[in-house]
């Protein structure tokens, strides 16, 4: 019996693989290596190169490793890219997930943990959002993930398969042991871009929009450490193994920081007063999105251990310095 991690060589997927491997679980990764790196995986974890949208390939790996559980991370994740190229997102995130789930059901897979996103909520400025709020995504990315949640709900009603969909808020940071981190070239994540700017790898940071209806006019997000996110997946798997019901849950800390506040923290942690330009809004960005996280804490017993923006930024900064020496 093994757990298949799709997109396991990517940023968040590799942290899940580390969390599972650290706990002695048997893991197989499938990854098309479009944005992932084999070196992000521990040496004792099997990697099969291929695509989640290739049913024959997925079936062969499920059979080879006797897979009964899947953690599905493989996806496109850049909100503005989805606005420009929506079909890429519906194809990659929605249509390929349909093939993956169809194959999973046919092969008798019992449990799925799915990487969903806070982007399903859309523009929800104000109080932290709970899972009861009707989703209203404003980007093709958010819609592509919401459709995948819907598929899982229907599949779990019709077949012997249970799922947890975790709606991630803004994931950042790196493995505290320095084994993995956000390594995508040309990444667009705020914290990564900011630490790269502090390290002199970029000339400046653009702050997209300072006319939002927020406390300082810039967008507010709930930044969560990638290691706490990985532990939420491990807790979700344990919950389903105990016989828990299928469920959708937010995964964030419940505290929002504005873009300007993040920039201040990155300047403080790095000691570099890097250049930040105020520029117009970026398409597809909701003004503010912060998690209500009572459900995941109560149902899964999730206990985050890195709920601290400075710690997150320090980890991201350390990883970026490591990458710079690795690539030089």
Q: Contact residues for ligand UD1 (CB under 6 A)?
A: 77-79, 117-119, 168-170, 188-190, 193, 205-208, 219, 221, 259, 282, 285, 289
Shortest Å distance, C-beta 92 to ligand UD1: 13
Choice between 53 and 284, CB closer to ligand UD1: 284
Distance of alpha carbon 95 from alpha carbon 53, whole angstroms = 8
Q: What is the DSSP letter of 271?
A: T
| In the complex, minimum distance from the CB of residue 328 to ligand UD1, in angstroms, rounded to a whole number | 24
Q: Where are the extended beta strands (E) located within the chain?
A: 2-6, 27-31, 46-49, 67-72, 111-117, 162-168, 170-172, 205-208, 220-221, 223-225, 247-251, 257-258, 276-279, 288-289
Cβ proximity to ligand UD1, 79 vs 152, nearer residue:
79
Q: Is 141 a catalytic residue?
A: yes
Counting Cα atoms < 13 Å in the Cβ hemisphere of 8 gives 27
How many C-beta neighbours within 10 Å does residue 159 have? 15
Q: Cβ of residue 213: shortest distance to ligand UD1, in angstroms?
A: 13
Q: 77 or 198, CB closer to ligand UD1?
A: 77
Residue 274 tokens, joined: 């890097």
**Smaller CB separation from ligand UD1, 25 or 307:** 307
Closest residue to ligand UD1, based on beta-carbon distance: 219
d(CA 328, CA 326) in angstroms, rounded, equals 6
Question: What is the Cα–Cα distance from 173 to 191, expressed in whole angstroms?
Answer: 8
Question: How far is residue 276's CA from residue 204's CA, in Å, rounded to a whole number?
Answer: 6
CB atoms within 10 A of CB 261: 16
Query: Taking the complex as a whole, how short is the minimal distance between the CB of residue 227 and ligand UD1, in angstroms?
Result: 16
Q: Please give the angle made by the CA atoms of 265, 198 and 83, to the nearest 5 degrees.
A: 85
Indicate the residue among 129 and 161 with the shorter CB distance to ligand UD1. 129
11, 90, 141, 239: the catalytic one is: 141
Q: Which is nearer to ligand UD1, 156 or 218 (CB)?
A: 218
> Cβ of residue 285: shortest distance to ligand UD1, in angstroms?
5
Residues with Cβ within 8 Å of 263's Cβ and at least 6 positions away in sequence, in order, are 194, 205, 207, 276
* CA 56 remoteness from chain centre: 26
- Give the nearest distance from C-beta 230 to ligand UD1 in angstroms: 15
Residues annotated catalytic, as ranges: 141
């Amino acid at each position: 019996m093994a757990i298949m991690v799709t997109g396991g060589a990517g940023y968040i997927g590799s942290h899940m693989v580390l969390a599972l491997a650290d706990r002695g679980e048997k893991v197989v990764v499938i990854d098309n290596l479009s944005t992932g790196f084999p070196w992000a995986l521990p040496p004792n974890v099997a990697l099969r190169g291929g695509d989640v949208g290739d049913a024959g390939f997925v079936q062969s790996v499920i059979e080879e490793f006797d897979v009964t559980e899947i953690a599905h991370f493989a996806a496109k994740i850049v909100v503005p890219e989805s606005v420009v190229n929506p079909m890429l997102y519906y194809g990659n995130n929605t249509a390929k997930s349909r093939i993956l789930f169809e194959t999973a059901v046919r092969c008798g897979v019992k449990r799925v943990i799915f990487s969903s996103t806070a982007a399903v909520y859309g523009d929800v400025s104000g109080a932290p959002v709970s899972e009861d709020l009707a989703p209203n995504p404003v980007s093709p990315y958010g819609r592509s993930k919401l459709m995948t949640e819907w598929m899982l709900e229907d599949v779990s009603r019709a077949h012997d398969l249970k799922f947890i969909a975790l709606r991630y808020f803004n994931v950042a940071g790196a493995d505290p042991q320095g084994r993995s981190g956000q390594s995508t070239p040309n990444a667009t994540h705020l914290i990564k871009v900011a630490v790269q700017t502090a390290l002199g790898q970029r000339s400046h940071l653009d702050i997209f929009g300072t006319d939002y209806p927020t406390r300082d006019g810039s967008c507010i997000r709930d930044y969560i450490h990638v290691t706490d996110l990985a532990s939420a997946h491990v807790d979700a798997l344990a919950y389903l193994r105990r016989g828990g019901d299928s469920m959708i849950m937010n995964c964030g800390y419940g505290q929002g920081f504005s873009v300007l506040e993040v920039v201040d923290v990155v300047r403080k942690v790095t000691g570099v007063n890097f250049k930040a330009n105020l520029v117009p809004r970026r398409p597809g960005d909701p003004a503010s999105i912060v998690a209500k996280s009572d459900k995941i804490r109560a149902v899964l017993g999730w206990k985050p251990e890195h709920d601290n923006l400075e710690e997150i930024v320090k980890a991201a900064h350390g990883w970026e310095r490591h990458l710079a020496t690795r690539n030089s």
